[in-house]
Structure 1
Amino acid sequence: MRNFGWAAAAVALTLGACGTQADNETENDGETLTIYSARHYDSDYALYEAFERDTGIKVNVVEAEGDLLIERVKADGERSAADVIFTVDAGRLWRADEEGLFAPLDSALLNERVPANFRHPDGHWYGIATRARVIVYAEDRVDAAQLTGYASLADPQFEGRVCARSSGNIYNISLLAALVERWGETEAEEWARGVAANFARDPVGGDSDQIKAVKAGECDVALVNHYYLARMMVDENEDVSGVKVAWPQADGGVHVNISGGGVAKDAPNPELARQFLEYAMSDASQRLFADLTGEYPVVSSVTYTNPALAEMGEFDTDPLSVNVYGVNQGVAQQIFDRVGWQ
């Protein structure tokens, strides 16, 4: 992975920092844009660098994990330096919006470039990149024809062969929230119970760990976000040969989520925030997310040159509004608890 200078400049938060202004944050002076971000990818650092170069506006970045970021902005309240809030997963964007952390933004450019199902109905936040929740499998132990949709993971033929992250992971919560909307609560619960019954081991680790477990033979199939495998495919230090993607597009299409952001409610520089979000929708900016991070551009017309994404091929997406992932997340977590998905 390329290492931009921005990686060192970003300010990492800890829980103890909540409620106070970090001493090394840059004071907003009208020409400094402050971004609070739960993302830590090279694509983002390249985007900040390009925005500074093209506009002359300084970018100050404060980084934290998703839920901690929301708590930080809440704690700072009107004193917050945040102009833009970036986070991963529509479920977290929904949580932040429920806390009143976003200001509505009416941007004709954003409304034109970002599909309606990848943005808040009232413009409180917008997707900047997309990621698919997919099934990866060992091609020497699994016939791809057996993996047609998410329902396949609950099939008894995969008993003792499935790996997944914990039920508390927002990616899994959002997937189940989408399935609740698609299938109804009863069928979604039956699915979750069936998947949990097929676990090869208790849920542990992140998406990369699930991929490594398939490679190592600890399980035969796993549920992950596509870009984890895409990045490992082009990393010379990783060996994921024989691990392939199955697009679970039966019964409604592949579950697609977003990373996204919006203008902070108490943004000192809301117009700079608007300018940045619109800049992130240019073809050149969108291409960064695919080529450097392995995500898909939220603007579907944008072309890119990532060989891993090309190898993975095309798929049909679920057209469901990602806002539903937040609306249904409480039901999803209750289902996980009832079925014993740890």
Structure 2
Amino acid sequence: MTLRTSLIATTLLATAPAFAADVNVYSHRQPELIAPLTEAFTAKTGINVNVAFMDSGLVERLKAEGDRSPADVILTVDISRLAQAVDAGVTQSIETETLKTNVPAAYHDPAGHWWGVTTRARVVYASKEAVADGEITTYEDLADPKWKGRICTRSGTNSYMIGLTSAYLVHHGAEETKTWLEGVKANLARKPQGNDRAQVKAIWAGECDISIGNTYYMGQMLADEEQKEWADSVRLEFPVFENGGTHVNISGVALTKAAKNLDEATQFIEYLTSPEAQEIYAEVNNEYPIAPGTAASDLVESWGEFTADDLNLMTIAEVRGEALRLTEEVDYDG
């Protein structure tokens, strides 16, 4: 965690009056992305939400603070970060009927240590000019030699890529996963580099025909004057695992082990999982709400329908170490 981040965290949380009804949040998501949520929650309940944004080091800070930590709640993205917090012993279980009603079983920790808020699918960005509509139907197909020299991806050790490889590992086992990684590597048009948006730029520039990326990046690119041209050159395809669905990851929330404001924190976590909050959050971030009966924004809905894989994300998190080992064994980034 940077010094600036540490100072922001200390200042934001220290300035909250001790007598006020408060909930203190450590967040990996930037303040402007969650401000609509916190403001709506305060208006609804009268409880102040003090947010400390941390671009890194959230779990390490909680471990260092121990029982002295002012944080009641952590808000983050990606199952790996949620699992890391659980493994570090800085969270505690919380289960209420409201949470169980709002969050499907696949999107919360079976032991109640974290709860999903929104999802994003990891999909294929396909060149409108070079790839026929519906030509890609499965993740397994990415290893087919027909794509040789046509795929761009970010580093295979990136957390989003490891999440997809972990899901493949759960579906197919280590031997098939290694073969798949070797096949995808053989199909790469260039050395893995950049972020998900950089891969779409490469398609626009004619360096490759397909890439792998999270759905919400389409919304981010469409909102950017320069990047809109990249986005307009591709369409989203929603591949599935054979005998499975489309791989998804989440943004999620957890109650800290050191939480002092338990009632306020419980209300806040329940609110985040409510249809009202999820629709706000999902629209701001171009993601999918997960509470039954909620809908994504018109823009996100326009990308098409898909069936999410039903693997519990904690099952995927448990094999991330093995997925990383296989990725390094095939020298995916080499």
TM-score of the aligned structures, taking structure 1 as reference length: 0.90
CA distance in 2, matches of 1:223, 1:200: 13
Runs of 4 or more off by more than 6 Å in structure 1? 15-21
Task: Name the aligned partner's letter for residue 22 of structure 2.
Answer: T
- Asked if 1 retains the 8 angstrom alpha-carbon contact of 2:287 and 2:296, the reply is no
- Larger CA deviation: 273-282 vs 232-241: 232-241
Within the alignment, does 1:176 sit opposite 2:165 as a pair?
Answer: yes
- Asked if 1 retains the 8 angstrom alpha-carbon contact of 2:12 and 2:51, the reply is no
SS at match of 2:13: coil
Within the alignment, does 1:337 sit opposite 2:328 as a pair?
Answer: yes
- Asked if 1 retains the 8 angstrom alpha-carbon contact of 2:31 and 2:51, the reply is no
RMSD: 2.0
SS at match of 1:133: strand
Task: Name the aligned partner's letter for residue 298 of structure 2.
Answer: N
SS at match of 2:254: strand
User: Residue 226 of structure 1 is aligned with which of 206, 215, 234?
Assistant: 215
Partner of 2:237: 246
Aligned residue-pair number: 328
Within the alignment, does 1:211 sit opposite 2:200 as a pair?
Answer: yes
1:40-68, CA deviations, whole angstroms, 9 ceiling, x for partnerless residues? 274411101111222221111111235x2
Call closer, same or farther: CA 1:205–1:125 in 2, change over 3 Å.
Answer: same
Partner of 1:312: 303
Within the alignment, does 1:296 sit opposite 2:288 as a pair?
Answer: yes
Query: 1:207, CA displacement in angstroms?
Result: 1.3
CA distance in 2, matches of 1:110, 1:46: 21
User: Residue 107 of structure 1 is aligned with which of 96, 102, 109?
Assistant: 96
Unaligned 5+ residue runs, structure 2? none
Partner of 1:159: 148
Partner of 2:313: 322
Task: Name the aligned partner's letter for residue 88 of structure 1.
Answer: V
Task: Name the aligned partner's letter for residue 317 of structure 2.
Answer: G
Task: Name the aligned partner's letter for residue 260 of structure 1.
Answer: G
Task: Name the aligned partner's letter for residue 295 of structure 1.
Answer: E
Q: What percentage of aligned pairs have identical amino acids?
A: 38
1:160-196, CA deviations, whole angstroms, 9 ceiling, x for partnerless residues? 2111111221111111111110011111111111111
Partner of 1:25: 13
TM-score of the aligned structures, taking structure 2 as reference length: 0.92
Query: 1:90, CA displacement in angstroms?
Result: 1.1
User: Residue 132 of structure 1 is aligned with which of 110, 115, 121?
Assistant: 121
CA distance in 1, matches of 2:288, 2:31: 14
Within the alignment, does 1:76 sit opposite 2:68 as a pair?
Answer: no
Within the alignment, does 1:36 sit opposite 2:26 as a pair?
Answer: yes
Partner of 1:256: 248
Q: Trace 1:131-150 onto structure 2 (pairs within 5 A).
A: 131-150=120-139
SS at match of 2:14: coil
SS at match of 1:312: coil
Query: 1:235, CA displacement in angstroms?
Result: 4.1
